[in-house]
Chains A and B, each alone.
Chain A
Amino acid sequence: MNNIYLITKREFLTQVKKRSFILLTLLAPLMIIGFGAVIGLMFKANESHNVIEVVDNSGLFKGQLKSNDKLEYVFVPAADEKSKIKNLKGNESLDGILILPQIASQNFDDLEKNTRLVVNTKIGLDTKQRIISDISNAIKKEKIKQLGIAESQLDNLDKNFELKTINVSEDNKEDSDLAFGVKTGLSLGLMYVTFMFIIIYGVRVMRSVLEEKNNRVVEIIISSVKPFELMMGKILGVTMVALTQFIIWITMSVIGALVLNTGFSSIQKNIPGGNAEVSDKLDIAQIATQVSHSLLDLNFPLIIFVFIVFFLLGYIFYSSIYAAIGSAVDNETETQQFTLFAILPLTLGMYGSFSLMNNPDGPLGFWLSIIPFTSPVAMIARIPYGVPAWEIALSIFLLLATTIFMIFLAGKIYRVGILMYGNKATLKEIWKWIRS
């Protein structure tokens, strides 16, 4: 046991002390944030604020064309029309003049024909679409008014139908679409994290095994410790590295979120926004509360428990495969055909889990989350939706048993493989090592 501890410690310290590890750990979140900020900025930079003067000869549109922060309507008296157009040339504070003609006997076709937008710069497609929809909305309202229908009646017509789903097996909890979406998001996130960590750090175990083999240091270590201890120490060491990176990133995002949050709320207070803006903000706040409520509704202790168990077991399961691969080959280019064995089932589990999102309790979901090769990702993907206890227990039991078996198998391959130099083992040879 002491040897495993020593090997784990060395593996952990050398990997964590590497400059590349420190840089990646500290910079990766900053890079992601920076990348997001750049994309956001790019969108922001392309946004423009257009001021359009409206000459409304028909008198129908006053109060119907509403300004927002991208497009501002300024109604001007009809008499000024010609001088205004003259004035438009070279006027930087004004982008265009919308001229709406007089309307005779509700002839809206005529209105369309005679409506003009005079501009002095190129107006974006967005802005143009916005103006068109504002006008047609106003016309639609006018037409409806002529049909003798009140606005409130109209609103009533438009009301959405909300289907309330009640899940009887979960204490009659109401399962809204939003809650389902939140679960899907959580499920996808956890699944991706598991998948990426298993692959990235599994390969690291393999590299570390190969490094010792190529350095020939392995024979010296093997004369002091059992091959099995070396392998386990390596896997555990890399696990600690993964967890360290994971914890640092989570801490960084929590701190980042806290800092950003206070930043946002102070900005909100400073803006004396219009009506529309207030309702927008309210919606976001509402959604945020609902999201956090749905999150809080989830059985977090269970999710965290299942995540940790499956993450660790799955990781150790696949790492031992990677360790065996590393010991059986001589350099990294030779690993490819073998790593397929490790990546394929995991990928299968992940893509299978995408379809599982539609129907978490279906037969596919069941089998993917029971079979040990795919269960580390599939069970984690399924858990936010709720999984019967016996399925979790069965899956953990199977995964644990297979993991122990795989470690045993990998240990056998590893024991022979690490002392074979100069040639790549064939599958037939590996089979022999396992049987010996």
Chain B
Amino acid sequence: MLKAEHITKTYNAGKKIALDDFSIHVPKGSIYGLLGPNGAGKTSFIRIINQITQADSGDVFINGEKLNPNHIKDIGYMPEERGLYKNMSVGDQILYFGELKGMKKNDALNEAKKWFDKLHIDQWWKKKLSELSKGMAQKIQFVVTVLHRPHLLILDEPFSGFDPVNANLIKDQIIELKNNGTTIILSTHRMESVEEMCDYVALIDNSKKIIDGRVFDVREKFKKNIFGITLSDVNNEQLQNFQNKYEIFNLSEQNNLISFDLKNTVNQNDILLDLVQAGKVRSFEEKIPSMNEVFINAVGNHS
């Protein structure tokens, strides 16, 4: 769906580098997470896709076609800095933004009605934005973003400002959009939403891409072959043998249960064979790093 190739973007006549030879590939119908600390270059990249700014070099392709003004109608963008007109009624506002995206008034009206039903906000149509709470305004903002049925949705920190209930509501809508074929780029530094929602991820730090790929693959890549083990009814003698054989740490005992971590160097099935001697295996799980750990690890190694 979207391909960015060797994007470089600088500010202040080359003094500040925002993106350095940045390339990603966003497959159609996926949710793609852009991860990175503040100031890493995420927003610069998003602004380039939205044609708010131009890259110094490199190309962006959408469906194989070089980025051009016609694509704007195909993109829905929710910036991190949210904003709507305070003195305009919700309805007028939504129609205005719809028309700016090239929709016919009636079309925009019907589409808006649909979304208002979905988000349970149909009684707000005539209200002024200044009468709504921040969370309510966020919902309107979401409707504005998706109203024109974009094929590419770019959401910059979509859950900031939402309470958990509404965050879930929005999350469900995003996933539904994805299932209907919309490609979604999600820029965030909230790792749990990446794990929950994203199919693909790219990590940006200090204007460079550090790693990208399927979320599963990225986490696999960062795993350190550590297993978490819990045993009950421990045979102390056998456990001692086991401890001599393997590298064990974080040993703890609670309610007659022994838990420890193990760094694996051999086939894990061999470990299991040894473990059953030491006691009853209550749990045996390979520890895959969370996105949070991947992120801290990757960024930490890098800088």
- Does any Cβ of A come within 8 Å of B100's Cβ? yes
Does B263 reach chain A (CB closer than 8 Å)? no
Interface string of B73-95 (1 = CB under 8 A from A): 00101110111111110000000
Interface residues of B in 56-75 (CB under 8 A from A): 72, 75
Chain A 185-219 against B: per-residue CB contact (8 Å), 1 yes, 0 no? Answer: 00000000000000000000000000010011111
With known contacts A10-B96, A225-B100, A219–B83 Cβ distance under 8 A: yes
Known: A6-B100, A220-B77, A223-B52. A18 touches B87 (CB 8 A): yes
User: Which secondary structure dominates chain B's binding surface?
Assistant: loop
Bound: A18/B51 CA distance, A: 33
Q: Which residues of A contact B75 (CB under 8 A)?
A: 223
Query: Is B222's CB within 8 Å of the partner chain A?
Result: no
A215 touches B100 (CB 8 A): no
> By the criterion of a CB under 8 Å from any partner CB, how many residues of chain B are at the interface?
25
Chain B residues 209-247 with CB under 8 Å of chain A are none
* Any B CB within 8 A of the CB of A106: no
Whether A3 contacts B100 by the Cβ 8 Å rule is: yes
Q: Are B100 and A222 in contact (CB under 8 A)?
A: no
- Is A14 on the interface with B (CB-CB < 8 A)? yes
Report A-chain residues with C-beta under 8 Å of the C-beta of B47.
419
The complex places the Cα of A216 from the Cα of B78 at a distance, in Å, of: 11
399-436 of chain A: CB within 8 A of chain B: 419, 421, 432, 436
Complex: how many Å from CA A43 to CA B77?
Answer: 65
Q: What is the total number of residues of chain A having a CB less than 8 Å from a CB of chain B?
A: 22
Could you say which residues of chain A place their CB within 8 Å of the CB of B81? 216, 219, 421
> Is B278's CB within 8 Å of the partner chain A?
no
CB atoms of B83 and A224 under 8 A apart: no
Residues on A with beta carbons closer than 8 Å to the beta carbon of B87: 14, 18
B273 within 8 Å of A (CB atoms): no
Nearest-neighbour CB distance to chain A for B80, whole angstroms, equals: 9
* Complex Cα gap A421–B80 (Å): 13
Q: Given contacts A222-B52, A419-B52, A432-B13, is CB(A216)–CB(B100) below 8 Å? A: no
Do the beta carbons of B96 and A217 come within 8 Å of each other? no
A258 proximal to B (CB < 8 A): no
Write out the residue numbers on chain A whose beta carbons fall within 8 Å of the beta carbon of B77. 220, 223
| Chain A residues positioned under 8 Å from B84 (CB to CB) | 215, 217, 220
Please tell me if the beta carbons of B99 and A6 are within 8 angstroms of each other in the complex.
yes
User: Are the C-beta atoms of A220 and B96 separated by less than 8 Å?
Assistant: no
- Chain A residues 1 to 56 lying within 8 A of chain B, measured CB to CB, are 3, 6-7, 10, 14, 18
Contact call B100/A217, Cβ cutoff below 8 A: no
The docked-state distance in angstroms from the alpha carbon of A217 to that of B83 is 4
Instruction: Looking at the assembled complex, report how far the CB atom of A13 sits from the nearest CB atom of chain B, in whole angstroms.
Output: 8
Say yes or no: B79 contacts A219, CB within 8 Å.
yes
A220–B83 CA distance with the chains assembled, in angstroms: 8
A287 adjacent to chain B (CB < 8 Å): no
**Complex contacts, A3 vs chain B, CB 8 Å:** 100
Report A-chain residues with C-beta under 8 Å of the C-beta of B101.
224
B97 on the A face (CB < 8 A): yes
Taking A6-B99, A223-B72, A224-B101 as contacts, is the C-beta distance between A14 and B88 under 8 angstroms? yes
A selection of 27 A-B contacts at a CB cut-off of 8 Å is: A3-B100, A6-B96, A10-B96, A14-B87, A14-B88, A18-B87, A212-B85, A215-B86, A216-B79, A217-B83, A217-B84, A218-B83, A219-B52, A219-B79, A220-B78, A220-B83, A220-B84, A222-B52, A223-B52, A223-B72, A224-B97, A224-B101, A419-B47, A419-B52, A421-B81, A432-B12, A436-B13
Q: Which 7 A-B pairs have the closest CB atoms?
A: A216-B83, A217-B83, A216-B81, A215-B83, A223-B50, A219-B79, A224-B100
B residues touching A (Cβ–Cβ < 8 Å)? 12-13, 47, 50-52, 72, 75, 77-79, 81-88, 96-97, 99-101, 144
